[in-house]
């Protein structure tokens, strides 16, 4: 069983599984091991930093953490050991996912959930990723 932990910045309003996206913002997930850099393969990412990005600013929406991640060998511990679907489910509501690498089946699951995966060739800081995202808007 996969454990998913969520850290969200909330006000006194009722907490929802993923806070509503700000109007006009692009919701971006970043695969990270340390919450500082984009430095993880989708399957082996222990954390995803989720931001709302506009032309003017970005705001951390939540951090999603996983205990049970892929070892990047391409093999499941058991045929029914699915560690990808819980990640896709946890990221629903995001429009873009940045990661260092992602397998075809994982990418297909993300696209089916209306999340566009983007592979980045080298690790980079999360602020660099967010600045580049702002330049695309």
**CATH code: domain of residue 45:** 3.30.420.130
Look-up of token digits 């500082």: 36
- Residue at 17 is within a domain: no
- Residue at 43 is within a domain: yes
Instruction: Please write the tens of the pLDDT for every residue from 46-93.
Output: 999 999 999 999 999 999 998 866 655 555 555 556 889 999 999 999
Q: Into how many domains does the chain fold?
A: 1
Instruction: Please write the tens of the pLDDT for every residue from 83-135.
Output: 899 999 999 999 999 999 999 999 999 999 999 999 999 999 999 999 999 99
Q: Which domain range does residue 46 map to?
A: 23-71+81-136
- Residue at 15 is within a domain: no
Q: How far is 126 from 89, CA to CA, in rounded Å?
A: 22
């Amino acid at each position: 069983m996969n454990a998913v932990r969520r850290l969200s910045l909330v006000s006194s309003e009722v907490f929802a599984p993923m806070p509503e996206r700000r109007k006009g913002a692009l919701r971006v997930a970043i695969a990270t091991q340390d919450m500082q850099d984009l430095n993880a393969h989708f399957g082996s990412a222990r954390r995803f930093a989720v931001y709302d990005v506009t032309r003017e600013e970005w705001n951390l929406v939540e951090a999603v953490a996983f205990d049970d991640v892929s070892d990047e060998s391409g093999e499941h511990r058991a045929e029914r050991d699915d560690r990808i679907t819980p990640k896709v489910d946890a990221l629903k509501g995001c429009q873009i996912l940045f990661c260092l690498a992602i397998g075809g089946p994982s990418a297909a699951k993300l696209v089916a959930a209306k999340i566009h995966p983007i592979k980045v060739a080298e690790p980079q800081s999360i602020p660099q990723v967010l600045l580049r995202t702002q330049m695309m808007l």
